[in-house]
Structure 1
Amino acid sequence: MTTHDVFNQVPPLTGYDVADDPALLDGLFREGGGWAAEEIHELGRLAGTEQAQEQGRLANENRPVLRTHDRYGHRIDEVEFHPAWHDLMRVAVGHGLHAAAWTARTGGHVARAAKFYVWRVDAGHGCPISMTYAAVPALRHAPDLARQYEPLLTSDTYDFGLRPPLTKAGILAGMSMTEKQGGSDVRANTTRAVPQSDGTYLLTGHKWFTSAPMCDIFLVLAQAPEGLTCFLLPRVLPDGALNAMRLQRLKDKLGNHSNASAEVEYESAVAWRVGDEGRGVRTIIEMVNMTRLDCVVGGAAGMRQGLVQATHHAAHRQAFGGYLIDRPLMRNVLADLAVESEAATLLMLRLAGATDRGETAFKRLGLAISKYWVSKRWPAHSAEALECLGGNGYVEESGMPRLFRESPLNSIWEGSGNVAALDVLRAMLKEPETVDAFFEEVGSASGADPRFDAAVQQVKDSLLDVETLELRARRVVERLALVLQGSLLLRYGHPAVADAFSASRLDRDWGQAFGTLPPGLDFGAIIARATPKLG
């Protein structure tokens, strides 16, 4: 029937190299991870296949299922996943997206960030990958434990199943921090840790959010005799018995459906201390800082994913007598989305490079600022990218609703926007060397653009009024993030992108929605960098 002829529909965005991203590749080499370029392209080509995208869909549509007991009534506390989840995990672990950066050559964290950015066919399975990556520096506060577990955390073997961790070929790590009464205020935790004569502790309490409960070991916060302390808690004890870690239920979340998040009850569960008693926050902050980096990487990757879907659609869809990508207003929207995406990508690579080089002072402030800002920008970016596809973007089959549902997560993970903004103020007031390091970094672009110079001076002036600083925290952190991104774009970005960023974000010749860039910018050059090349 002629009424069923299908035409003017956009071909699927498959068969392309996700790593074919100029901002990513330039930064990879600049920050010291260029030796991994071939593997990143290999992973990018795999991520661009129809098969990988189908695995991401299947993993999300077939959510994990909690099995508390077996058929005979024995407690098993197991989480069951669709085979697609395990396929995705094998790729991620096999390519070292989890913890290989800790044993890699120079530039290992940059290379790992690029891989994490490219392999975004499903965001949910990135949670245990990120937790495992972040656990290593915290675990090093207990050198004896690190010697046992770190080789397994950094292994490239995905070895799923309930067995004693030290008997496996590779393990994954989760995190168990927050409780019902406190949330981000972990000092309000009531889980108790009672020391035993053999050096272990018995933990009793209830955790409101446990990230990735299918993992082999967990870093847990509990109240020891000397105060809040960090512990390593395995799911299975060395003798093969299940630890007293009871999974109560899995959370029914807005997004991140492929990944399990659980409420957990500890009933005298056996754990080993990591770091000194009473120093739990200081110990586990090592893990939190690395997950902050992954929030920036994940947000940048999500923006790029939405952007290429939008440009691909606009390049193939005709309306109003021509292709959408040729319409001036659509070009403004796409270019604006591209500017936001590139700014986030340069930022993530700079932070990964700082991790490799041990730039502690810059990283302390830069991570907190960037986690706040990129996480805040992603939901708005995702919504606009979805809208570029019109009604097609609102339909689940397009993949855009799943991307949109993922976008609020990073702003909540490891502390909401207010927590992140207040942490920036805390670092600035208690660690003034972080402010010096930040402005030294930003100042590297001084004189490159008068709009940038003016914005830097404005943000410095805004810090003088200490009395109202908390009230203005979000505005201050936003401006800090923008001058940092502006500095990176002016030094390393494409001139057209840097010009558009300075005009809109710094000089504020910009509306309150995407697609409000001023005239006179090189829209063509900006969009060309964001349009995927098929085949």
Structure 2
Amino acid sequence: MTDYAPRTELATHRVENQPAALATRDLWASDTALRDAVAHAAPAWVGERLARLGQRLGQADIAEWADQANRYPPTLRAFDRYGQRLDEVAYHPAYHALMTLAIEGGWHAVAWEREHDGGHQAHVAGLYLLTQAEPGFCCPLTMTHAAMPVLRHLSADTSWQQRLRGCHYDPRALPAWHKSTNTFGMAMTEKQGGSDVRRNTTRAEPVEAPGSGAWYRLSGHKWFCSAPMSDAFLTLAQTDEGLSCFLAPRFTPDGERNAIELQRLKEKCGNHANASAEIEYRGAWAQLVGEPGRGVAAILEMVQQTRLDAATAPAGMMRQALSAAHAHVSGRAAFGARLVDQPLMQRVLADLALEAEASLWLAMRGARAMDRAATDAHEAALSRLLPALAKFWHNKRGPGFMAEAMECLGGIGYVEESPLARLYREAPVNSIWEGSGNVICLDVLRILARHPESIEALRQELTPARGVHPALDSALAELDTLLAAPAETQAAQARWLTQRMAQALQAALLLRQAPTAVAETFCATRLAAATPQYGVLPTAAPVAEILARLG
């Protein structure tokens, strides 16, 4: 047998001109805009709690968990080895690690722990940070948080509310009452109706006497059930009185698996870490929540919460994409200079930074309105309108934002090792969830017609900024004309009306609370010489001052 010498490796090149691997990064300490927004109106405890979260989320293992949770998506286990129905979803351990971190931190329940004392601001800011870890797993956190207003209609049984406030994540398939903490999902839409839930055909029949809190049996199909491993689901079904809201637990009152069959998991464009299922109710047990025939009214209380979260998630994704782009161009050179030192790249980054900061301020203003809604009529009126405005506009800006940030990295931004590809796939989902763009705009028109106090509250928010910047003054004059227009004109222009209200409020918030460099450049580029392109700033724009806020 002949012995051969080992092969000598000859390097063909040196790896150079590549950014250093991302080190541990404090998402709170490095985010000047977030710290400013929290300091502006939230109690001191909010910032203290967020500081701990931001430091933890910036550590390397979190990024690894996010990557694994997306590379190894959930799988359906419809049956056990003997052919008995399981209707369970198996997740990668990284998903459970992320859920544990969030639930043990109380971010699903903080709004209700410190209600009227900054709890909603803490929740929204916490979601903004958690989204930067991994957006998909935030879906069950949002739904669990948002279930509380609906659960309060079960006034005779407060145990569900108590378990929502728990802080121990238990992923096992057990009856909800065998756990200290419950998570909640939603199952609203059906094939024939989609957002038009009044066309739902799922039927509910009372087990004994009908009425609020009574048990019913559900029969029907739901096209989308988010987070199908939740302990219970809020759902809509028809009764003799009309469309009604129900709470369907995964286990019956006798402790058996409820007849909620998972037909398949959706293969989605993005949101891979989170499971979404088609389900069949085959006589499933469910409790009536609220009054029969008042299902839409009950569920709208949840939707107000989820819509604000759906407006916050794109702000968090923008921040993550911007941070990734900024880190890359800071460590890479082209055409004789670092990318971050080149004027065109600086303008792209600065323009992205303006959008991210404006979105954050509007989301936080919505959270402050919710914090104060119970005791302040002005804030209550704003809380009806702001979630819809922010959800519509932030999500319209999101996909283009992710594409531009990806382009800053070039080809390496388009591969799966970068978070940008994942963010780009994720970007459309929050625009579709809880009402797509047209549905949101129709809801804005409904608010205009039924709650004129909300429009008056918006005017009061905008008034202090009048006379500060000419571009905003022109936008407000145009907005006044639109708000005074006939209903037919408003219906045709509902998208433009919603966009203009959102942008005007963003501008007013920035002019009152953000640095002059940020506020005035935002007005000049969004309200005066607006363009769909990112990176088109006035020649004399204070780019360096804007970029200095990136951390």
Give the match's secondary structure for 1:529. helix
Question: In the alignment, is residue 111 of structure 1 matched against residue 111 of structure 2?
Answer: no
SS of structure 2 residue aligned to 1:16: coil
Give 2:163's aligned residue. Answer: 152
Instruction: Report if the CA contact (8 A) 1:155-1:170 is conserved.
Output: yes
Q: 1:311 aligns with which of 292, 314, 326?
A: 326
1:338 is the counterpart of 2:350: no
Is residue 2:475 matched to residue 1:460?
no
- Greater Cα shift, 436-445 or 281-290: 436-445
CA contact (8 A) 1:96 1:112 kept: no
Equivalent position of 2:301 in the other structure: 286
Residue 455 of structure 1, CA deviation: 1.2
Cα pair 2:110 2:122 within 8 Å, conserved: no
1:40-439 → structure 2 map (5 Å cutoff): 40-104=50-114, 106-119=117-130, 120-145=132-157, 147-197=158-208, 199-358=214-373, 359-439=379-459
Encode CA deviations 1:446-472: one digit per residue, 9 max, x unaligned: 222222122111111122322221111
Q: Kindly, what percent of the aligned residue pairs are identical?
A: 48
Separation in structure 1 between the aligned mates of residue 253 and residue 220 of structure 2, nearest angstrom: 22
- Whether the aligned pair in 2 keeps the contact of 1:204 and 1:266 (CA below 8 Å) is yes
1:324-376 residue CA offsets vs partner (Å, 9 max, x unmatched): 11111111111110000000011111111111111221111111111100111
When structure 1 is superposed on structure 2, of 441-450 and 129-138 the one drifting more is 441-450
Residue 230 of structure 1: CA displacement? 0.2
Which of 6, 13, 17 aligns to 1:8? It is 17
Match of 2:498 in 1: 477
Q: Tell me, in whole angstroms, the C-alpha distance in 1 between the residues paired with 2:499 and 2:215.
A: 44
The amino acid that maps onto 2:139 is C
Q: Counterpart amino acid of 1:13?
A: L
- Aligned partner of 1:24: which letter? L
CA distance in 1, matches of 2:66, 2:266: 20
Query: Secondary structure in 1 aligned to 2:173?
Result: coil
Report the residue type matching 1:110 in the other structure: Q
Displacement of 1:196: 2.0
Q: TM-score, normalised by structure 1?
A: 0.97
Matched, 1:513 2:533: yes
Q: Distance in 2 between matches of 1:440 and 1:13?
A: 44
Look up the equivalent residue of 1:489 and give its one-letter code.
L
**Does the 8 A contact of 1:180 with 1:207 survive in 2?**
yes
Decide whether the 8 Å contact of 1:499 with 1:521 is kept in 2. no
Is the 2:46–2:121 contact (alpha carbons within 8 Å) kept by the matching residues of 1?
Answer: no
Structure 2 gaps, min length 5: 1-9, 374-378
1:501 aligns with 2:513: no
Shift in Å at residue 12 of structure 1? 2.5
Task: State the alpha-carbon separation in 2 of the partners of residues 197 and 224 from structure 1.
Answer: 14
Q: Which residue of 1 aligns with 2:546?
A: 526
Q: In the aligned structure 1, how far is the partner of 2:13 from the partner of 2:300?
A: 58
State the superposition RMSD in angstroms: 1.2
Distance 1:37 1:140 in 2: 29
CA contact (8 A) 1:233 1:271 kept: yes
Deviations, residues 161-212 of structure 1 (Å, cap 9, x unaligned): 1111112111100011000000000000000011121531111000000111
Q: How far does residue 525 in structure 1 lie from its aligned partner after superposition? A: 0.9
Amino acid at match of 1:21: D
8 A contact 2:205–2:218 mirrored in 1 = yes
TM-score by length of 2: 0.94
Give the partner amino acid of 1:286.
E
Pairwise CA distance, 1:512: 2.4
One-letter amino acid matched to 2:281: Y
User: SS at 2:258's partner residue?
Assistant: coil
User: What's the offset of the Cα at 1:100?
Assistant: 2.5
Shift of 1:2: 4.6
Cα deviation for residue 441 of structure 1 reads 1.1
Alignment-mate amino acid for residue 135 of structure 2: A
Distance 1:4 1:31 in 2: 54
Distance in 1 between residues matched to 2:43 and 2:330, nearest whole Å? 32
Matches of 1:260 and 1:14, distance apart in 2 = 30
Does 1:449 find its partner at 2:460?
Answer: no
Higher CA-based Rg? 2
Separation in 1, partners of 2:324, 2:336: 22
Q: What SS class does the counterpart of residue 264 from structure 2 fall into?
A: strand
Alignment gaps of 5+ in structure 1: none
1:21 aligns with 2:42: no
